[in-house]
Amino acid sequence: MEKAINPQKRDKSLVPLSKEHHFGLLFCWKIREGLKNGADLQTMRNYVCYFWNNILKEHCEEEEWLLKRLLPANDSAQIRLQEEHRLLQEIIEIVCAGKQHGLAEDLFQTLQQDLVDHIRWEERELFPYLQAVVNPDELELTGKLLEHKHFEKKDKFTPEFWVRTA
């Protein structure tokens, strides 16, 4: 029997980013479902571009801003975050370019798996690390600054290619 994982106690300053991780995981689920259902790859490409431009790009920028403010430039967590963001961006750029290799099912699969792995790392390792090493007052101040530049994003993409049709 697998041991249940207790939910992470998240500092309120990081909650807005954690909530957006739910959207990222939902994005990945939609990509998986679209592939499973044989959805049109051009429509899925449009969705990847939409999600990047309307949700994910700004989310990545906010996380990088947060870490630059809280950690030294040579901190391995900050370096890893930036490298993984660049890798995700490069995959997305290939998909959005729409060239033949950018519409291969395995590229969509790689994108969704890399994003799931990245989000899980942030939630399970990066955010607890920040909560452990950053002064709570600095984390709170950064959270307040983030509130001013952060707004709730909505995923309104249509058509819903991830929904199985008869």
Q: Which pLDDT tens digit goes with each residue over 20-52?
A: 899 999 999 999 999 999 999 999 999 999 999
**Number of neighbours of residue 159 by Cβ within 10 angstroms:** 11
Lowest mean pLDDT among 28-37, 107-116, 145-154: 145-154
Contact (Cβ atoms closer than 8 angstroms) between residue 81 and residue 70: no
**163 within domain boundaries:** no
Which among 101, 99, 94, 91 has a CA at the least distance from the CA of 28?
Answer: 91
The answer to the question of residue 133 being in a domain is yes
Q: Is the pLDDT of residue 4 over 60?
A: no
Mean pLDDT within 10-20: 86
Tell me how far apart the alpha carbons of residues 63 and 77 are, in angstroms, rounded to a whole number: 12
pLDDT by residue (tens digit) across 64-106? 999 999 999 999 999 999 999 999 999 999 999 976 555 789 9
Is residue 161 one of the residues assigned to a domain?
Answer: no
pLDDT reported for residue 6:
54
Q: Is residue 164 part of a domain?
A: no
What is the domain extent for residue 22? 15-149
Greater confidence, 144 or 161? 161
Asked, for residue 157, whether it belongs to a domain, the answer is no
- Is residue 5 in a domain? no
- What sign does the CA torsion over 38, 42, 43, 48 have? positive
> Rounded mean pLDDT of the chain?
89
pLDDT at 102: 56
Q: Using alpha carbons only, give the angle 41, 43, 47 rounded to the nearest 5 degrees.
A: 110
pLDDT of residue 53: 96
Domain presence at residue 162: no
Inside any domain, residue 127: yes
In total, how many domains does the chain have? 1
- Quote the pLDDT of residue 3: 54
CATH number for the domain spanning 116: value is 1.20.120
Listing DSSP states for 112-139 in one string gives HHHHHHHHHHIIIIIHHHHHHHS-HHHH
